[in-house]
Amino acid sequence: MINKLVKKIEDLSAPIVVGLDPMLEYVPEHILQKAYREKGENIEGATEAIWQYNKGIIDATYDIIPAVKPQIAMYEQFGIEGLKVFKKTVDYCKEKDLVVIGDVKRGDIGSTSAAYATGHLGKVTIGGKYFRGFDEDFITVNPYLGSDGVKPFIDVCKEEQKGLFILVKTSNPSSGEFQDQLIEGKPLYELVGKKVAEWGELHMGSSYSYIGAVVGATYPEMGRILRRLMPKTYILVPGYGAQGGKAEDLVHYFNKDGLGAIVNSSRGIIAAYKMKGYEKFGPKAYADASRQAVIDMREDIKQAWVAAKR
């Protein structure tokens, strides 16, 4: 799956992942009202609206992006009905041949980590038949519990030829509270980064490991250091755009081969029609605004590369 991700990124010249993190307030009124008319002004109606909204964005962008990253929290907030739409979104994206990174940030120990891995990446066997839960291609994982929390995920990844992105340095303002603390003169995120590189050796693809890292766009200096520490690790970079990360900072997250990083944008793509510069699309053409925002983001990253090479 890492090989497929790398190939798609190369073919489309787009190291971009679209964060499918829908909020009810992003959904255009015409979609919301239609869903309420059909399913009622209730949890079924609201989650139907989110599904239709997602579908519009996927249909408008799937041919120019390699991957999507649905954030499960945005679905989980609506309980079971929300999680049904998460699953429907994962399945639909896979039909469209997109690589699906489930942003689930799970993490536990032993058999519990194994159970999460089974639910999101693997399968259960009942009466000799396989059943798959959410069936993403990659998921994000929290490393706080250490190796015996992470290894059960890697075991399932090996069986399924799937992968992980492990949190190393997150994009939020207070990520430094624990992650930047110095241990023998080096910040914790470097120690975690080294571990991710080690874990990565357990499950290598052809040029990069199936075990990736999450490093926020908002800390480019740290990105540069982590890039060097984890040469075979694909880095998933959140925080571009709405969170403040700029394209010129992103070059630090890539290797010289122009690969090694995939940049996430959520709100900036899926709610583009509400953003400065995209108002002309209006709510009815929200998906066209998302497509344009992907094209602009691709160009923004490309220009930053050109500038960096000068």
Question: Is the distance from CB of 35 to CB of 49 less than 8 angstroms?
Answer: yes
Q: Contact letters (x/-) for a copy of itself, 166-185, by CB under 8 A?
A: -x--xxxxxxxxxx-xxxx-
Q: How far is the CB of 238 from a copy of itself (least distance, A)?
A: 9
Q: Which is nearer to a copy of itself, 24 or 304 (CB)?
A: 24
Q: How far is the CB of 259 from a copy of itself (least distance, A)?
A: 27
Cα–chain-centroid distance for residue 178? 23
Residue 105 falls in the annotated catalytic set: yes
Residue 282 sits in the site that holds a copy of itself (CB under 8 A) = no
Task: For residue 299, give both structure tokens.
Answer: 């160009």
Q: How far is the CB of 191 from a copy of itself (least distance, A)?
A: 7
Q: How far is the CB of 303 from a copy of itself (least distance, A)?
A: 28
Binding to a copy of itself in span 123-162, by CB under 8 A:
124, 126-127, 129, 131-134, 142-149
Residue 233 sits in the site that holds a copy of itself (CB under 8 A) = no
What is residue 130's DSSP assignment? E
Residue 42 sits in the site that holds a copy of itself (CB under 8 A) = yes
**Gap between the Cα atoms of 247 and 174, Å rounded:** 22
Residue 54 sits in the site that holds a copy of itself (CB under 8 A) = no
Residue 52 sits in the site that holds a copy of itself (CB under 8 A) = no
Q: How far is the CB of 282 from a copy of itself (least distance, A)?
A: 24
Residue 236 sits in the site that holds a copy of itself (CB under 8 A) = no
Rg over CA atoms, the chain: 19
Residue 306 sits in the site that holds a copy of itself (CB under 8 A) = no
Q: Which residue has the tokens 């059909």?
A: 38
Helix (H, G, I), strand (E, B) or coil at 29: helix
**Gap between the Cα atoms of 220 and 191, Å rounded:** 17
What is the total count of residues that contact a copy of itself (CB under 8 A)? 70
Number of Cβ atoms within 10 Å of the Cβ of 299: 11
Helix (H) / strand (E) containing 237: strand 235-237
Q: What contacts 77, CB < 8 A, 6 or more positions away?
A: none
Residue 304 sits in the site that holds a copy of itself (CB under 8 A) = no
Q: Which stretch binds a copy of itself (CB under 8 A): 6-14, 81-89, 202-210, 279-287?
A: 81-89
Residue 116 sits in the site that holds a copy of itself (CB under 8 A) = yes
- Residue 37 CB burial class (10 angstroms; 0-12, 13-18, ≥19): exposed
Q: Which stretch binds a copy of itself (CB under 8 A): 3-11, 57-65, 68-76, 222-230?
A: 68-76
Task: For residue 172, give both structure tokens.
Answer: 């939020």
Which candidate, 165, 177, 187, places its Cα nearest to that of 121? 165
Number of Cβ atoms within 10 Å of the Cβ of 115: 16
Cα–chain-centroid distance for residue 252? 19
Active site amino acids: 105
Residues that bind a copy of itself (CB under 8 A): 21, 23-24, 36, 41-43, 45-46, 71, 73-74, 76-80, 82-84, 87, 105-113, 115-116, 118-120, 124, 126-127, 129, 131-134, 142-149, 167, 170-179, 181-184, 188, 191-192, 195
